[in-house]
């Protein structure tokens, strides 16, 4: 991948997209292409087609889309499916028509069956039903993943690379407790509880489900690593994980320590937990020479410093935490 190659990063202000931009800039790539939603609506097929015909990016990282936790999936299931499927179809179709050299699209660990052997290997996809509480998002991401595989098969090529990162976190994450995933939601709620001197924080579920968390910068490093490889002699899709998980209770305690919140954590086991465990088998990508470098404790501390420096602190009411 040449330093002056036109690289379009869709969703460049989000968690993974911003990490990809940082990584590419750090490695000296100088022809990055980005567009804000006000400039390019990825749900508008006409706009996307015209953009690709005009800009002709050689490489594309599709990190745009609607994400959220259990409550968001349950409240807006149609929006999750509509928005994500439209974005994926429009971008992948335009990329195919204009001859991009490689495109990366992100799936999700929630695509795997709820009751899946651990760690979850890529062949387990579609071997059972995904977790019902995240089904709308899972279906939309399965659609994008398998559209990539269909294009590759029909075109006798491997231009479209579907990746499955586990739960991502880091700078530029969504920290709104009403719509965020569990890690960033916990961080925001504990910070506000510390500021307000709250004696306790009520949390959804039992705290027993286990999750694997990977820093967005490690995901970005994996993306650039794959884009630079001349021959990707590996079957798609490809998992991206760190190989270790923690319980939600353990995560909450780690974040409370990082934030400096000393109050009580009260778990409401009458609320849903989500899938019991989501640990990825990342042997495929490790066989290609990539490995993660950011440990969870270090990543949490760095993320909290970014949150304090960049996110306006507002009053946070008692909202559920979603795993």
The DSSP line for 24-91 is HHHTT---EE---TTT--TT-HHHHHHHHHHH--SEEEE--S----HHHHHH-HHHHHHHHHHHHHHH
Listed residue (285, 185, 135) closest to 225, CA to CA: 285
Mean pLDDT of the region 200-225: 97
Is residue 320 over pLDDT 70?
no
- Tell me if the bond preceding 118 is cis, omega within 30° of 0: no
Alpha carbon distance 15, 7 (integer Å): 18
Contact by Cβ (8 Å): 4, 30 = yes
Task: List beta partners, residue 61.
Answer: 9, 104
In the set 8, 59, 112, 137, the catalytic residue is 137
pLDDT at 315: 38
DSSP state of 134: G
Q: How far apart are the first and last CA of the chain?
A: 37
Mean pLDDT of the region 269-291: 94
Residue 321 main-chain phi, psi, to 5 deg: -100, 135
Could you give the C-alpha distances from 221 to 20, 50, 172, 212, in angstroms and in order? 7, 30, 17, 18
Helix, strand counts (H, E) of the chain: 10, 13
Q: Give the pTM.
A: 0.94
Q: Longest C-alpha distance within the chain, in Å?
A: 60
Confidence of residue 312 (pLDDT cuts 50, 70, 90): low
Mean pLDDT of the region 160-164: 98
pLDDT at 34: 98
Active site residue 59: no
Residue 250 tokens, joined: 């353990």
**In the chain, pLDDT over 90 holds for what percent of residues?**
87
Tell me the per-residue pLDDT of 82-135, one tens digit each, with 9 for 90 and over. Answer: 999 999 999 999 999 999 999 999 999 999 999 999 999 999 999 999 999 899
Fold category of 7-310 in CATH: Rossmann fold (3.40.50)
Confidence of residue 230 (pLDDT cuts 50, 70, 90): confident
Task: List beta partners, residue 240.
Answer: 165
List the chain domain ranges.
7-310
Residue 180 tokens, joined: 């965020």
Average pLDDT, the chain: 94
Residue bearing tokens 């292409």: 33
Is residue 73 over pLDDT 70?
yes
């Amino acid at each position: 991948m040449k330093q002056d190659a036109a690289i379009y990063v869709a969703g460049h202000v989000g968690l993974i997209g911003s990490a990809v931009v940082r990584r590419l800039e750090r490695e000296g790539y100088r022809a990055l292409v980005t567009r804000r939603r006000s400039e390019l609506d990825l749900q508008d097929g006409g706009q996307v087609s015209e953009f690709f015909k005009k800009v002709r990016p050689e490489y594309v990282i599709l990190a745009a889309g609607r994400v959220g936790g259990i409550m968001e999936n349950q409240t807006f299931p149609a929006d999750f499916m509509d928005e994500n499927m439209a974005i994926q179809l429009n971008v992948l179709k335009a990329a195919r028509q204009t001859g991009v050299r490689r495109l990366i699209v992100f799936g999700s660990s929630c695509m795997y069956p709820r009751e899946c052997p651990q760690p979850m290997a890529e062949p387990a996809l579609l071997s059972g039903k995904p977790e019902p509480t995240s089904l709308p998002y899972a279906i939309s991401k399965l659609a994008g993943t398998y559209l990539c595989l269909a294009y590759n098969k029909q075109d006798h090529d491997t231009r479209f690379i579907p990746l499955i990162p586990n739960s991502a976190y880091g700078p530029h994450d969504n920290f709104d407790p009403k719509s965020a995933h569990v890690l960033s939601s916990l961080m925001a709620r504990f910070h506000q509880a510390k500021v307000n001197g709250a004696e306790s924080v009520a949390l959804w579920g039992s705290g027993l489900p286990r999750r694997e968390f990977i820093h967005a910068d490690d995901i970005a490093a994996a993306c650039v690593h794959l884009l630079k490889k001349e021959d990707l002699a590996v079957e798609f899709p490809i998992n991206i994980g760190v190989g270790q998980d923690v319980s939600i209770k353990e995560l909450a305690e780690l974040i409370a320590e990082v934030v400096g919140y000393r109050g009580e954590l009260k778990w409401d086991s009458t609320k849903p937990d989500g899938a019991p465990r989501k640990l990825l088998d990342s042997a495929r990508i490790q066989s290609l020479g990539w490995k993660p470098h950011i440990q969870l404790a270090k990543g949490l501390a760095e993320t909290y410093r970014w949150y304090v420096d960049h996110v306006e602190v507002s009053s946070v009411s008692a909202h559920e935490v979603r795993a």
